[in-house]
Amino acid sequence: MTIETLPSTRIHLPGSPEFTAATRLWNGAVTHRPAAVARPTSRSEVQSALRYVADSGMPVAVRGGGHDWAGRALIAGGLVIDLSLMRRVDVDVTSQTAFVSGGSTAADVVAATEPFGLVPATGTYGGVGIVGLTLAGGYGPLNGIAGLALDNVIEFEVVLHDGTTTIAHERHEPDLFWALRGGGGNFGVVTGMRVRLHALDSVIAGFIGFPWQQAEQILRRYDVLRPTMPDELTVQIGVLSGPDGNPIVFMAPAWSGTAATGVTWIDRLQRLGTPVIAQVGQMPYSAMLGLFDPRDRRPPLRAAHAHCPITRRRRDRYAAARGRIKKLCVQRHRHSPFPRRRNANSTRRHGVRHPLGSHGRRDRRRVGPGR
């Protein structure tokens, strides 16, 4: 088999607009130069592409939503299988599940499910590929009530390295099913997955910013509040540069329970200090996924990629730095160390998988609050 035997309309070489679009990633610093891009529209075209790769020995990479920070979607001199033309989402309202095609973004899935009052477990940003996110774990606003994105997969449809297709679930190919859920990729091309959906009409979400001078007080008080927080509340907390360039402590809460209780919890968060900015309100889940659209990135925000636990030592170092911060840190606190309610469907204890896991770290370390 040669590359010419693949459907010519689906193969794109350097210089074509399709090649340029497919090789443009969220992390613009990635410069790997693939030899060609295949843009399949069906499972059988994915199979052809993988058979070609198997025959030719050409290196291969898979591109979903293009949001991997490490740029794994591109490979120098290889073939990129870009799934961005495979974004169909079929919702089954009766079973509260959806079949999600391999190139769908989180926003694609929510756009299909939200009209039925249902949402999937996603991350915080709609542009991220939902399969890529799930393969890497998938922490997000519903962690407390629904677990990680990987906890919500019922089955994967996978094209393996030799071009054959299999369905992996708890009882069929259980090892593959286990590896796909958190392995980060490299076990075949996931052409689709069936996921559980959750009934949710709206969320209370937004952004609260406190002046840097209050950082120590805020973080100390937050440490006391956190173990009492209910599963419905997820909070991202970290340090970013404010409108005037000075650092601010930010909190990005997401509440997925009843509105009246949520308002009380948001109020508690705001009263941890005196906010300089507080924009929190009730909104559809889809609107929340647009709140942190990185197209609005200003240079200081680009540095905020490092997710890390805000340990006592790190907190003290921030305080001592008094604003002279070069490396910024974002930590997501779901709530108390483990949810009081376990996801009935989950076979795992919940914990937030360290996001660096998708940067090539092989361990499946879980990071609990306080570490």
Ligand X SMILES: Cc1cc2nc3c(=O)[nH]c(=O)nc-3n(C[C@H](O)[C@H](O)[C@H](O)COP(=O)(O)OP(=O)(O)OC[C@H]3O[C@@H](n4cnc5c(N)ncnc54)[C@H](O)[C@@H]3O)c2cc1C
List Cβ neighbours of 8 (8 Å cut-off, separation of 6 or more).
none
Q: Does residue number 207 form part of the binding site for ligand X (CB under 6 A)?
A: no
Q: Which stretch binds ligand X (CB under 6 A): 123-131, 215-223, 242-250, 271-279?
A: 123-131
Q: Which of 40, 140, 357, 369 lies at the binding interface for ligand X (CB under 6 A)?
A: 140
* Rounded CA separation 243/89 (Å): 39
- Residue whose CB is less far from ligand X, 182 or 247: 182
Q: Is 202 in the site for ligand X (CB under 6 A)?
A: no
Structure tokens given for 71: 């740029």
- Return the number of the residue (137 or 369) whose C-beta is nearest ligand X: 137
Does 63 interact with ligand X (rule: CB under 6 A)? yes
Residue linked to tokens 């979400």: 205
Site for ligand X in 252-271 (CB under 6 A): none
Among the listed ranges 5-13, 122-130, 198-206, 321-329, the one in contact with ligand X (CB under 6 A) is 122-130
- Distance of alpha carbon 181 from alpha carbon 293, whole angstroms: 26
Measured CA to CA in angstroms, residue 43 lies from 34, 39, 103, 159, 191 at distances of: 22, 11, 12, 8, 6
Task: Name which of residues 215 to 254 contact ligand X (CB under 6 A).
Answer: none
| Residue 249 DSSP label | E
Residues 48, 241, 331, 358: which binds ligand X (CB under 6 A)?
358
Binding piece for ligand X, criterion CB under 6 A, among 69-77, 197-205, 261-269, 270-278: 69-77
- Among 34, 147, 185, 275, the residue binding ligand X under the rule CB under 6 A is 185
Kindly write down the DSSP assignment for every residue of 58-90, as one continuous string.
--EEEESSS--TT-TT--TTSEEEE-TT---EE
Q: Are 342 and 350 in contact (CB under 8 A)?
A: yes
CB nearer to ligand X: pick between 49 and 136: 136
Choose the stretch contacting ligand X; rule: CB under 6 A; options: 128-136, 196-204, 220-228, 282-290.
128-136
User: How big is the site for ligand X, counted in residues (CB under 6 A)?
Assistant: 34
How far apart CA 284 and CA 205 sit, in angstroms, is 9
Regarding 144 and contact with ligand X (CB under 6 A), the answer is no
For 55-60, the CB contacts below 8 A with 24+ separation are 55/1, 56/1, 56/2, 56/3
Per-residue mark of binding to ligand X, 274-303 (x: CB under 6 A)? --------------------x---------
Could you tell me whether strands 330-333 and 352-353 are parallel, antiparallel, or unpaired per DSSP bridges?
Answer: unpaired
Say how far apart CA 129 and CA 72 lie, in whole Å: 13
Looking at the Cβ atoms of 124 and 202, the one nearer to ligand X is 124
CA distances from 246 to 119, 175, 241, 243, 255 (A): 36, 49, 5, 7, 28
Check residue 65 for interaction with ligand X (CB under 6 A).
yes
In the bound state with ligand X, the residue whose beta carbon lies nearer, of 132 and 273, is 132
Q: Which of 64, 206, 339, 357 binds ligand X (CB under 6 A)?
A: 64
Q: What's the min distance (Å) between Cβ of 141 and ligand X?
A: 8
Could you list the residues that contact ligand X (CB under 6 A)? 26, 61-69, 72-73, 83, 102, 123-125, 128-129, 131-133, 135-140, 185-186, 189-190, 294, 358
